[in-house]
Amino acid sequence: MNGTAHVAIGAAAGFIVANNYQSSPATTLLLVGIGGISGLIPDLDIDGKLRNKITLSHKVIQSAALLIGMLMIVYSIYEGIAANRYLGIGIGLAMIIGSSFIKQRHMLTITGIGVLVSGISHQEMWLLLLGVYILIASFVAHRSYTHSILGVIFYGIIVSKLEVSLGIEGIFYTGLTGYISHLVADSKLLPFNKRGIKLFLPISSKEM
């Protein structure tokens, strides 16, 4: 399944959750966005060992860095305090500019470190954990740990912290549903998927 399909399914999941919570139009838009991003997150591991075999990887990584850079700027403007705000904006800008220049495989690792540092400077646990997630995803093989139950739990913790931090109901369920929708779409539950996902890593590497 390609990136666009994953985003669409994740966004639809966000829309459904928003409806269940009877969210305002603005919150609905936010949840649709979080759902779409969550639907793409597991494939951040595309920078891993199979990177060279996947022609899209390059663009996915570039877009991810660009997106995270922009989010970081927006977030810093709204939430940052004094020096932290400018540090966050600076890192975000550097990532946006860097994403168009640096194209080699370490981009995602650099992105992870950037997000991690930003999480520490903002004292935001979800951002710190997202940085750790991206960092790990940049080293593991494609369709391995990010496509497992362990990945779901880790991401669930990230979005639960994000929900508490923003104080907006529905973020946790939207993020979790978007993420799980990606795993279902990649699994052998769909007959046209020849390769499945290693759901039970590290206990079993059987493809589901």
Tell me which residues touch Zn ion (CB under 5 A): 42-43, 186
Which lies closer to Zn ion via its Cβ, residue 64 or residue 127?
64
126: Cβ–Cβ under 8 A, 6 or more apart, which residues? 119, 158, 159, 161, 162, 165
Least distance (Å) between residue 72 CB and Zn ion: 24
Cβ 11 to Zn ion, closest distance in Å?
A: 16
Please state, in angstroms and rounded to a whole number, the distance separating the CA atoms of residues 172 and 156.
Answer: 7
Between 163 and 186, CB nearer to Zn ion: 186
Residue 104 φ then ψ, to 5°: -80, 175
Looking at beta carbons only, is 28 or 181 nearer to Zn ion? 181
Nearer to Zn ion, 7 or 127 (CB): 7
Cβ of residue 138: shortest distance to Zn ion, in angstroms? 15
At its nearest, how many Å lie between Zn ion and the CB of residue 80?
33
Q: Which two tokens stand for residue 97?
A: 């500019």
Which backbone phi and psi does 130 adopt, to 5 degrees? Answer: -65, -40
Residue whose C-alpha is closest to residue 128's, from 119, 137, 136, 141: 119
Residue 47 or 186: the one with the smaller Cβ distance to Zn ion is 186
Which CB sits closer to Zn ion, 142 or 161?
Answer: 142
Q: How many CB atoms lie within 10 A of CB 29?
A: 14
Measured from the CB of residue 42, what is the shortest distance to Zn ion in angstroms? 5
| Cβ atoms of residues 170 and 141 within 8 Å | no
Say whether 90 sits in a helix, a strand or coil.
helix
Residue 163 C-beta: closest distance to Zn ion, Å: 24
Residue with tokens 């660009």: 66
